């Protein structure tokens, strides 16, 4: 069975074509700057020349048509015909309370996705556009939606409710949903496999640290708390997002700086985080370099980021009555050797310590705690695409 995994952002489309027989990636790539005259299309196959094109691409539907043409192209293709695509798996950011698992898409699901878009106006519309484009081009191919929020639907009420008037939850759905669920689910399963233990018997803290970051407490294979909230803005300090702040700051800044709701939203989502503190960049490599050259605000941004990850780890150990393993994943978690070391500084009270030699690794799956540590530390590259493909096979497989 061949599954096409599609991840549509507002101006991007990432894809992987996976043969589920051996879970082999046949091709992968992305479109960037969709909507512009100089959109970029990159297409890669294992052990073959990469294709890169710059050309006008109007919308996601046009990008998908270009992609399907390339997948059956004589020179750059990997399929004989489009009929060899058996199903499409879509990443969808927000499933609200309607979806606690991935789902085979039909008309009712499309209606529910439109309703979810009301609380995720930035994230869901491009996902829906991608699904509609696929349905138009491949009307007979089953489509599956895989949600960032679904894994966190197991959180108990005391963890997911905000202490606002209860009607704001009951009538408007204002609550913590959590994100990065597909990634937390993948790495926590891998962690149990690496430990040779049943995930049902484990308490795992999964740290997905990238441009967007979140930490999740996974008890017995289920998410019991996570740091992102109603939107992906809350929780940890991120590349450009503030993470948690006192909500009273918002009206204060709006008044003092004469900001509209949209301007305060931009300040919190695009100008804050390690970019806002360092004034240097949102890229952890650039900030790390600046800090090493003596830039104090760059160092401060890193210190703040590490502090908040460490504090959240402590909180989630308390939530689960202890912890058996802590995982680092995504761009910073997989590659940030210094970041992992700084976050783990002082975790001995939990029964763990990072091993500097084992920690000297980028982009590899590895245990990084000292031998015999009671609590294991792992670096595990995430793979959301394979989770989406597996769910798609499970729900659309013949």
Residue 297 φ/ψ, nearest 5 degrees: -70, -30
DSSP state of 236: S
Residue in 275, 248, 281 with CA at minimum distance from that of residue 264: 248
Report, in Å, the least distance between residue 130 CB and ligand ADP.
17
Three-class DSSP category at 99: coil
* Choices 11-19, 86-94, 137-145, 334-342; region in contact with ligand ADP by CB under 6 A: 334-342
Report, in Å, the least distance between residue 1 CB and ligand ADP.
27
**CB-closest chain residue to ligand ADP:** 331
Question: Which residue, 2 or 214, has its beta carbon nearer to ligand ADP?
Answer: 214
Report, in Å, the least distance between residue 144 CB and ligand ADP.
22
If one asks whether residue 229 binds ligand ADP (CB under 6 A), the answer comes out as no
If one asks whether residue 285 binds ligand ADP (CB under 6 A), the answer comes out as yes
Report, in Å, the least distance between residue 256 CB and ligand ADP.
30
Can you read off the two tokens belonging to residue 107? 């008309």
If one asks whether residue 331 binds ligand ADP (CB under 6 A), the answer comes out as yes
Residue in 294, 297, 265 with CA at minimum distance from that of residue 281: 297
Residue in 237, 240, 236, 246 with CA at minimum distance from that of residue 271: 240
Q: Provide the 10 A C-beta neighbour count for residue 342.
A: 18
Can you read off the two tokens belonging to residue 66? 């270009």
**Distance, CA of 121 to CA of 94 (rounded, Å):** 10
**Under 8 Å CB-to-CB from 361, ≥6 apart: which residues?**
337, 368, 379
Q: From the candidates 37, 106, 114, 148, which is the catalytic residue?
A: 148
Angle, CA 355 vertex, CA 351 and CA 358 arms, to 5°: 135
Q: Given the structure tokens 């085979």, which residue do they identify? A: 104
* Choices 155-163, 244-252, 258-266, 281-289; region in contact with ligand ADP by CB under 6 A: 281-289
Question: Which residue, 96 or 330, has its beta carbon nearer to ligand ADP?
Answer: 330
In the list 197, 200, 362, 374, the residue contacting ligand ADP (rule: CB under 6 A) is 362
Scanning the chain, the segments in alpha helix (DSSP H) are 60-71, 107-117, 124-137, 157-160, 166-172, 181-195, 249-256, 261-270, 273-278, 284-292, 296-320, 330-335, 337-344, 384-396
In the list 89, 130, 181, 210, the residue contacting ligand ADP (rule: CB under 6 A) is 210
**Distance, CA of 8 to CA of 158 (rounded, Å):** 33
Binding mask 237-276 toward ligand ADP (x if CB under 6 A, else -) reads --x-------------------------------------
**Distance, CA of 242 to CA of 265 (rounded, Å):** 10
If one asks whether residue 178 binds ligand ADP (CB under 6 A), the answer comes out as no
Report, in Å, the least distance between residue 360 CB and ligand ADP.
12
Examine the residue annotation and report whether 148 is marked as an active-site residue of this protein.
yes
**Distance, CA of 114 to CA of 360 (rounded, Å):** 45
Question: Which residue, 282 or 352, has its beta carbon nearer to ligand ADP?
Answer: 282
If one asks whether residue 216 binds ligand ADP (CB under 6 A), the answer comes out as no
In the list 124, 206, 335, 392, the residue contacting ligand ADP (rule: CB under 6 A) is 335
* Choices 145-153, 194-202, 328-336, 373-381; region in contact with ligand ADP by CB under 6 A: 328-336
Residues 18-57 binding ligand ADP (CB under 6 A) are none
In the list 71, 191, 330, 380, the residue contacting ligand ADP (rule: CB under 6 A) is 330
**Distance, CA of 199 to CA of 34 (rounded, Å):** 41
* Choices 10-18, 102-110, 282-290, 341-349; region in contact with ligand ADP by CB under 6 A: 282-290
Report, in Å, the least distance between residue 336 CB and ligand ADP.
4
CA 160 to chain CA centroid, Å, is 19
Sign of the CA dihedral running 47, 48, 52, 58? negative
Question: Which residue, 207 or 317, has its beta carbon nearer to ligand ADP?
Answer: 207
In the list 12, 42, 59, 211, the residue contacting ligand ADP (rule: CB under 6 A) is 211
In the list 29, 212, 229, 243, the residue contacting ligand ADP (rule: CB under 6 A) is 212
Binding-site ranges for ligand ADP (CB under 6 A)? 210-212, 239, 283-285, 330-332, 335-336, 339, 362
Residues assigned a catalytic role: 148
């Amino acid at each position: 069975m061949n599954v096409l995994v599609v991840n549509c952002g507002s101006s991007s489309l990432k894809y992987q074509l996976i043969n589920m027989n051996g879970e082999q990636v046949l091709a992968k790539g992305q479109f960037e700057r969709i909507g512009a005259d100089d959109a970029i299309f990159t297409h890669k196959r294992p052990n073959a020349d990469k294709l890169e094109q710059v050309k006008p691409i109007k919308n996601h539907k046009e990008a998908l048509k270009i992609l399907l043409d390339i997948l059956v192209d004589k020179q750059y293709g990997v399929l004989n015909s489009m009929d060899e695509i058996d199903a499409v798996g879509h990443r969808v950011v927000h499933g609200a309370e309607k979806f606690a698992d991935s789902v085979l898409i039909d008309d009712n699901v499309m209606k529910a996705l439109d309703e979810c878009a009301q609380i995720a106006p930035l994230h869901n519309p491009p996902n829906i556009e991608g699904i509609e484009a696929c349905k138009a081009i491949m009307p007979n191919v089953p489509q599956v939606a895989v949600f960032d929020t679904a894994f966190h639907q197991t959180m108990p009420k005391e963890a997911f409710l905000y202490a606002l008037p209860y009607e704001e939850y009951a009538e408007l759905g204002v609550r913590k949903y959590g994100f990065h669920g597909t990634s937390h689910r993948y790495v926590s399963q891998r962690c149990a496999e690496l430990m040779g233990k049943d995930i049902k018997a484990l308490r795992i803290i999964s740290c997905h640290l990238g441009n967007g970051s979140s930490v999740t407490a996974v008890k017995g294979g289920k998410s019991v708390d996570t740091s992102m909230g109603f939107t992906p803005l809350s929780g940890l300090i991120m590349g450009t997002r503030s993470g948690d702040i006192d909500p009273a700051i918002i009206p204060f800044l709006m008044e003092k700086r004469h900001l509209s709701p949209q301007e305060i939203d931009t300040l919190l989502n695009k100008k804050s985080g390690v970019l806002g503190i360092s004034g240097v960049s949102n890229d952890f490599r650039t900030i790390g370099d600046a800090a090493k050259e003596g830039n104090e605000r760059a160092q401060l941004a890193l210190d703040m980021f590490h502090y908040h990850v460490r504090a959240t780890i402590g909180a989630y150990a308390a939530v689960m009555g202890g912890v058996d393993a802590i995982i680092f994943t995504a761009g910073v978690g997989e590659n940030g050797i210094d970041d992992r070391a700084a976050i783990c500084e002082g975790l001995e009270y939990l029964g763990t310590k990072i091993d500097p030699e084992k920690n000297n690794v980028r982009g590899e799956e590895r245990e990084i705690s000292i031998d015999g540590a009671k609590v294991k530390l792992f670096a595990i590259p995430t793979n959301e695409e394979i989770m989406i493909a597996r769910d798609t096979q499970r729900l659309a497989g013949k």
